[in-house]
Amino acid sequence: MATEKVDGFRLDRIGQLLSTAYPELALTPGLDALTLRPFAPGVLLHSDGRHHRAGAQAGAGGARGALHAVRALAAAPRSGALPRQRTGSAAAAPRMRTGAPLGSAVDQARLGAALTRLAATPAERLLRRPEAPAAEALAARGLPARTIDGFLRPLLAALLCDPDLTSSSRCADLALRAFAAGRLCVPEGGADVLPELLARTLPPGTVHTGVRATAVSTTSVTTAEHGEFRCRAVLVATDARTAAELLPGLRVPGFHPVTVLHHTTDEPLPTGASLLLDADRGGPVAHTAVLSAVDPSRAPAGRTLISSTVLGPPPDGVDTAVRRHLARLYGTPTGRWETLAVHHTAEAVPAMRAPHDLRRPVRLLAGLYVCGDHRDTSTAQGALHSAHRASAAIVSDLGAGSLHAAEPVRTAQRAA
Ligand SMILES: Cc1cc2nc3c(=O)[nH]c(=O)nc-3n(C[C@H](O)[C@H](O)[C@H](O)COP(=O)(O)OP(=O)(O)OC[C@H]3O[C@@H](n4cnc5c(N)ncnc54)[C@H](O)[C@@H]3O)c2cc1C
């Protein structure tokens, strides 16, 4: 969740897509100060040189919640506009244009009804559905092939960072449900605002960055350069591979590679604050957006920031291939755009192949705990939810009173 600051730009390493319907963004202490910047409703699909708005859900409270977000942002742009409980039931017609890639008006109405139903389905019920690879399950949903190929496949690939849709159909349903029930969004100011807000809820001096743990036990953490810290309990909150090094026996999942590219130009672009997907899959870009239109704080005045995500192993000469694809997607030459950053993360997102356990144990034994996206779903929501489960286990083991009284890191004694 790191954000690079370069010449007035704020450049995320991650692929940007959160949902206003992620419950943990509303439940986690400290994140009430988070301002979410929503994309325009639904997504913009590029097909045959034209743009088509798709999936702009108005049922099940999604659009109302999103509207709430927009109004709150307009009223108080910097003061925390996270929409909380969405209770609206007004069901306006889905706002989609006719034609490829969404099919006929009837096809679109079926898609709108399916998304509305999904938004209203409790998550627990989705988790009881039979589980299969998402690509297989999609074909069995009774939706027209062009709706699946032109809209659902590119959308799910973007939401799951999984171009081949090998992920569990249950995880795909959860991702689509979050899409239908809320609005895709980015944190104002950059992804690193989330960990900064979390750290701010703790007493000053509690969090130490740049300290690498090399070994853990129930009573101590050994670090690379700062010796050993004694403690009453250890929670390992690293990526999956490091967690398995620190806690031998922990499973290491497969990973989806992700490459994020940031470009700038001084020309305005026609897509506004939309998330743009290529229904024709005519190049390496899975999704792209004029991020400075979604969140103006990410670019200096007068500059346009375009952020794009490539899923899977990137092609040779990724920047050239991406610029060529972006020229078609935005309908404008990109040869003079400036490349600000190309970030490739080989082990970006833990794969969630079926059968996927969304509630992997976070308590290994009394005093030793683990959390992170690899214990839950591979999203910021999953990482935060696993952290909630782990902290509940710690509170229960240590006793709430003693946990509140202790300040483990500040009071830890350096033993070496
Ligand atoms: C390129 C990319 C694109 C993504 N796109 C999206 C998206 O669009 N939407 C979405 O919801 N999610 C996305 N994700 C996933 C999301 O970023 C992760 O799910 C989330 O950051 C996981 O949080 P975490 O706390 O489990 O792990 P991390 O965010 O990986 O944090 C682990 C921390 O542990 C630290 N650490 C590692 N080893 C050690 C050690 N030995 N000692 C001490 N500290 C250590 C690391 O420095 C890091 O700060 C993306 C991720 C990547 C990489």
Is 45's pLDDT higher than 60? yes
Of the pLDDT bands very low, low, confident and very high (cuts 50, 70, 90), residue 108 is confident
State the pLDDT at residue 51. 95
Cα-to-centroid distance, 346 and ligand 1 (Å): 12
State the pLDDT at residue 107. 86
**Beta strands at 255-265 and 338-350: parallel, antiparallel or unpaired:** antiparallel
State the pLDDT at residue 304. 98
Contact assessment for residue 407 and residue 206, using Cβ atoms and an 8 Å cutoff: yes
Token reading at 71 = 């109004």
Pocket lining: 386 vs ligand 1, CB cutoff 6 Å:
no
Q: Where does residue 286 fall: left (phi above 0), alpha (psi -120 to 50 degrees), or beta otherwise?
A: alpha
For the chain, what is the mean pLDDT?
87
Average pLDDT over residues 351-376: 97
Long-range contacts of 220-227, Cβ-Cβ distance < 8 Å, separation of 24 or more: 220/415, 226/414, 227/414, 227/415, 227/416
Is 86's pLDDT higher than 80? no
Is 404's pLDDT higher than 50? no
State the pLDDT at residue 139. 86
Is 369's pLDDT higher than 50? yes
Cα-to-centroid distance, 77 and ligand 1 (Å): 27
Average pLDDT over residues 307-321: 97
Average pLDDT over residues 340-348: 97
Is 408's pLDDT higher than 60? no
Is 406's pLDDT higher than 70? no
Pocket lining: 380 vs ligand 1, CB cutoff 6 Å:
yes
Pocket lining: 258 vs ligand 1, CB cutoff 6 Å:
yes
State the pLDDT at residue 100. 61
State the pLDDT at residue 144. 87
Cα-to-centroid distance, 210 and ligand 1 (Å): 15
Cα-to-centroid distance, 334 and ligand 1 (Å): 31
For atom 34 of ligand 1, which residue has the closest CA? 238
Of the pLDDT bands very low, low, confident and very high (cuts 50, 70, 90), residue 61 is very low
Backbone dihedral angles phi then psi of residue 396, each to the nearest 5 degrees = -65, -40
Average pLDDT over residues 204-216: 94
Of the pLDDT bands very low, low, confident and very high (cuts 50, 70, 90), residue 135 is very high
Q: Where are the alpha helices (DSSP H) in 269-379?
A: 291-294, 318-330
Of the pLDDT bands very low, low, confident and very high (cuts 50, 70, 90), residue 104 is confident
For atom 36 of ligand 1, which residue has the closest CA? 238
Pocket lining: 16 vs ligand 1, CB cutoff 6 Å:
yes
Is 90's pLDDT higher than 50? no
Is 13's pLDDT higher than 80? yes
Average pLDDT over residues 89-100: 37
**Whole-number Å distance between alpha carbons of 39 and 293:** 9
**Whole-number Å distance between alpha carbons of 353 and 350:** 9
State the pLDDT at residue 58. 59
Average pLDDT over residues 40-57: 92
Q: Which of 1, 13, 14 to mutate to test the pocket of ligand 1 (most atoms within 8 A of CB)?
A: 14
**Whole-number Å distance between alpha carbons of 364 and 235:** 10
pTM for the predicted model, two decimal places: 0.88
**Top-confidence residue, 16 or 23:** 23
Cα-to-centroid distance, 239 and ligand 1 (Å): 6
State the pLDDT at residue 110. 87
In 3-state terms, what secondary structure has residue 226? coil
Pocket lining: 261 vs ligand 1, CB cutoff 6 Å:
no
Lowest model confidence (mean pLDDT) among 28-32, 33-37, 101-105, 261-265: 101-105
